[in-house]
Amino acid sequence: MHIGLVREAGGYGDVISVGGASRVLKDTGIASKITVFYPKQFCFIGEHLYGIDEVVSLGDLADISKQRRPRDSGFKRASYLSILNSNVCDKYVDLFCPAFLYESTERRRLRYTRSQLFAMSAGVRSIANAFPIWKTTEEERNEADKFLRKYGLDNCELYGAQFRATCPTRSYPADYSSRLLSMLLEAGKKVVYFEGSRVHFELPDGVIKCTVSFSVFAAIVDRCHFIITADTCLLHLAQALSVPVLVIYGNKDADPYVKWCEGSVFTIEGTSDKCKRACNYNHSKGWDKNKCRPKGCPRMMDNTPEKVFEAIEKATTVQLRDIRECTF
């Protein structure tokens, strides 16, 4: 069966999560061919995900955003989806909103990750292995090694970090970020930081800022011993590369990852008596950033550098299991 997976919205993490569906569809023999439909800015991601045979562009992301269809409205409500008529698939799977609907109604009792939800939407019965696998090319690996060699990081135990989240109020506080990285350096860790020009604090001397393309960035992540992040993009990428990762949360979103990725994904969650709300999440509208505290999330403030550093030390002593079953 030729299956088309359609995802026209979301960030890098959402787009990478589509690989959870492609993996099990291909491994179980449900799909003989898988075509994904992405905005053109995300097409290169589809080319790196295991199980995907073909990537088709839906057009520019800016144009898609201007005419984005209402959630749960079906394929007929947006002109950019007319390209589906010229691609002959036996089945099309709309991956626009299943995760949103699930997460908004099952708040605080999540059982499945987005990758697993996408796989279920595609008709997969067993979702135990519904996690994406990212494939790096030899050229990308060579570029990654070249970058690391430039800073003397090519033959060492490397730690990667990223503390800025999609929502600024969920980013790890600037002073916490700088102190945590300093603590890692003082402990003898080699650290590369993954946010290019968007760093929201001053990097301590000795931390190397990663300024490469996303594909080479992924190859550098693959070289890391451990990842620390406050953003789900790097969580999904690290998971797809089987690199252990600690996620710093300000809210209570960690349950599905703790349950399904034990030994590979670790979480640390903040608490606060100052905020009784279920974060800044509205079940019908998604994130309402205007209602979130402009100076930052009080739950995130609970995740002090000392608390996170202790969690890193505990996580790195765990016997990690490799969730990647395929080699390239």
Domain-embedded: residue 29: yes
Q: How many CA atoms lie within 13 A of 227 on its CB side?
A: 30
pLDDT at site 282: 43
Residue 226 dihedral angles phi and psi, to the nearest 5°? -160, 150
pLDDT at site 71: 63
- What 3-state DSSP class applies to 2? strand
Q: What is the CATH number of the domain that holds 146?
A: 3.40.50.2000
Q: Are residues 188 and 55 in the same domain?
A: no
pLDDT at site 193: 95
For the entire predicted model, the pTM comes to 0.85
pLDDT at site 284: 41
Tokens of 95: 């991956």
In the chain, which stretches have pLDDT less than 70? 70-74, 76-77, 98-110, 166-169, 196-197, 250-263, 272-297, 318-328
pLDDT at site 199: 80
Q: Are residues 279 and 191 in the same domain?
A: yes
β pairing state of 286-287 and 281-282: antiparallel
Q: Are residues 21 and 49 in the same domain?
A: yes
Domain-embedded: residue 326: no
Q: Give the number of domains in the chain.
A: 2
Q: Are residues 78 and 193 in the same domain?
A: no
Q: Which domain holds residue 225?
A: 138-315
Q: Identity (one letter) of the amino acid at 193?
A: Y
Domain-embedded: residue 17: yes
pLDDT at site 262: 53
**176 and 304 in contact (C-beta within 8 Å)?**
yes
pLDDT at site 286: 46
Q: Are residues 198 and 297 in the same domain?
A: yes
pLDDT at site 314: 85
* 213-216 CB contacts, 8 Å cutoff, 24+ apart: 214/12, 214/44, 214/45, 215/44, 215/48, 215/136, 215/137, 215/140, 216/140, 216/143, 216/144, 216/147
Domain boundary among 55, 87, 121: 121
